[in-house]
Amino acid sequence: MVRGRLFVGTVAALALVTTAGAQGPPPAVRSAEVHADRPVTLRLRAPLATSVELLGEVLRGTGPQAMTKGADGVWSVTVVPLPPEIWIYNFDLPDSANHPTYTESGEAIRQAVNQWIRASGAYDAVLDFDQVVRDSADPKRLRREYDPGDHVHPNDAGNAAMAAAIDVSAFR
């Protein structure tokens, strides 16, 4: 019997995050800030991170640059003056457990919701991309061959693996 309900999405990417004792959202972080003489300061709020590196073309071929953590949990780095342009950059955190929004309670909720989606029978089919790309030895991590370096989003090979895992009969 087809009930017409299909859960499509990356189960692992549920945006369920809790913060115990939160008093509202933290103040906004200004990134990228272009200074008068054109150096650029890039910032990222990641209070649980133990290290953060800046990657990308803003470094003009110099390789990853370590960022400095402030007392407020905001990491920053200032790069050399850049000409006006669209510049690509990424922040690299060691693993998803150090992602700015990660909490153990949020992870527990994510796992519980994922399990319910997989096992509840509420959907006729589930495209479980989490199971396709996660590391079976450490389910909080992407498999190495699917990790582009941010430890959160799959690379092209991971996207291809997710596409290959789709059972097209679920759409008939």
CATH of the domain at 46: 2.60.40.10
| Residue 24: predicted pLDDT | 67
Q: Which two tokens stand for residue 104?
A: 């153990």
Tell me, yes or no, whether 25 lies in a domain.
no
Write the CB contacts of 49 (distance below 8 Å, at least 6 apart in sequence).
69, 75, 93, 94, 98, 99, 100
Bigger pLDDT: 78 vs 92: 78
pLDDT value at 96 more than 70: no
Both 63 and 94 in one domain: the answer is yes
What is the pTM assigned to this prediction? 0.47
Q: How confident is the model at residue 68 (pLDDT cuts 50, 70, 90)?
A: very high
135 three-state secondary structure: strand
Tell me, yes or no, whether 110 lies in a domain.
yes
Q: What is the pLDDT of residues 113-160, one digit of tens each?
A: 778 878 887 777 777 888 888 888 888 788 889 988 777 778 889 889
Amino acid at 151: H
